[in-house]
Amino acid sequence: MQTDLRGRDMITTQEWTKEEIDTVLDVAMELKRKRALGEPHALLRDKVLTMLFFFSSTRTRASFEAGMAQLGGHAMFMDSKTTQVSHGDTAKEIGQILGRYTSGIAIRQVDWGAGNQYMRWVAEASRSPVLNMQCDLYHPHQILADMMTIMEKKGDPRGKTITVSWAYASSYSKPQSVPNSLVLLMTRYGMNVRLVRPPEFKLKPEIVEQAKENARKYHSSFEIMEDFEAGVKDTDIWYAKSWGPLLVTQDPKEDRRITDRYKDWIADERRMAMANEDAIYMHPLPADRNIEVTDDVLDGPHSVVFDQAENRLHAQKAVMALTMK
């Protein structure tokens, strides 16, 4: 267990050691237990977290806000459109000023090629830690909650197979932050990671290289597949969700044209039955119901999506309690 995490940014789990991530997961389980027992745990009394959003959210906003209240502090919601961010406040102003007002700055900025850079600039200027509420490249708090869920449902993750598969969606072009973060973290926990996607939905080469390196270092495996059903066969964990063909195009019309080629990539009961009998189905939500995943799967016996969403609260409380000062 690591006890010196005060002031640390959480921008990607890849920048935290495995032992530090273990510490977060340990504390998250402990805080979940305390909440279940009704034990007070006001570890951040009088502390304030800035939450700056450039993009919509349900779970992330609600779980950070509820989490800060349960820790005895306050979360301050800010929207880029209704602040002077829209009139010239730069990342430097946000880091310098909000880093002095509050004990942590949480940001969601998912614009391709911009979100992660924005967070790095804020972190450079801020005396308080920066917590990534999702950028174009990473969604670390989602993935910490996912790992916590896997440990709860499947026990020791070592040797388990996880299929991270693309799925069709019609609502909007979703960021690559979830599949990136999944392949980076799960390969560090000894899992056999299958990334299954059509050829146009590649992840960035540097992410793929890091995942391969993690697999070598942690004695796990990382395989890229293009056959949807072969990818699901005999898996222990099926994590099926959509993301945009962002390495190929950032033009919305071209994106739609490419994405519409794969309308049959839906997580349905027939495919769920190809996984192991006790396999779990995961999705970070929101999902395009009956387009990306059928109701039968999302609401079915394999699905753990609501426990997974709950764990956002506990994982984030752990990160905040360990890093904010």
Residues 220 to 249 in contact with ligand CP, rule: CB under 6 A: none
User: Which residue in the set 33, 39, 58, 113 belongs to the binding site for ligand CP (CB under 6 A)?
Assistant: 58
Residues binding ligand CP: what is the number (CB under 6 A)? Answer: 9
Stretch that binds ligand CP, among 19-27, 57-65, 154-162, 206-214 (CB under 6 A): 57-65
Looking at the Cβ atoms of 162 and 178, the one nearer to ligand CP is 178
Residue 66 binding ligand CP, by CB under 6 A: no
* The one-letter amino acid at 74: H
Residue 59 binding ligand CP, by CB under 6 A: yes
Residues 123 to 152 in contact with ligand CP, rule: CB under 6 A: 134, 142
Residue 283 binding ligand CP, by CB under 6 A: no
Angle at 139 between CA 201 and CA 218, to 5 degrees: 80
Do residues 214 and 143 make contact, with C-beta atoms less than 8 angstroms apart? no
Q: Specify the length of the chain in residues.
A: 325
Residue 57 binding ligand CP, by CB under 6 A: yes
C-alpha to C-alpha distance for 104 and 124, rounded to whole angstroms: 13
- Closest distance of CB 108 from ligand CP, Å: 7
Do residues 262 and 313 make contact, with C-beta atoms less than 8 angstroms apart? no
Residue 60 binding ligand CP, by CB under 6 A: yes
- Closest distance of CB 285 from ligand CP, Å: 5
Cβ-proximal residues to 274 (8 Å cutoff; 6+ apart), any chain: 229, 232, 233, 234
Looking at the Cβ atoms of 58 and 90, the one nearer to ligand CP is 58
Looking at the Cβ atoms of 258 and 287, the one nearer to ligand CP is 287
Looking at the Cβ atoms of 125 and 145, the one nearer to ligand CP is 145
Q: Provide the 3-class DSSP secondary structure of residue 23.
A: helix
Do residues 50 and 105 make contact, with C-beta atoms less than 8 angstroms apart? yes
Residue 187 binding ligand CP, by CB under 6 A: no
* Residue 131: strand pairing partners: 10, 106
User: Which residue in the set 153, 285, 296, 307 belongs to the binding site for ligand CP (CB under 6 A)?
Assistant: 285
Give the closest residue to 130 by CA, choosing from 10, 21, 48, 47.
Answer: 10
Give the burial string for 266-304 (b: 16+ CB within 10 Å, else e): bbbeebbebbeeebbbbbbeebbeeebbbebbbeeebbb
Looking at the Cβ atoms of 8 and 141, the one nearer to ligand CP is 141
Residue 171 binding ligand CP, by CB under 6 A: no
Site of interaction with ligand CP (CB under 6 A): 57-60, 134, 142, 284-286
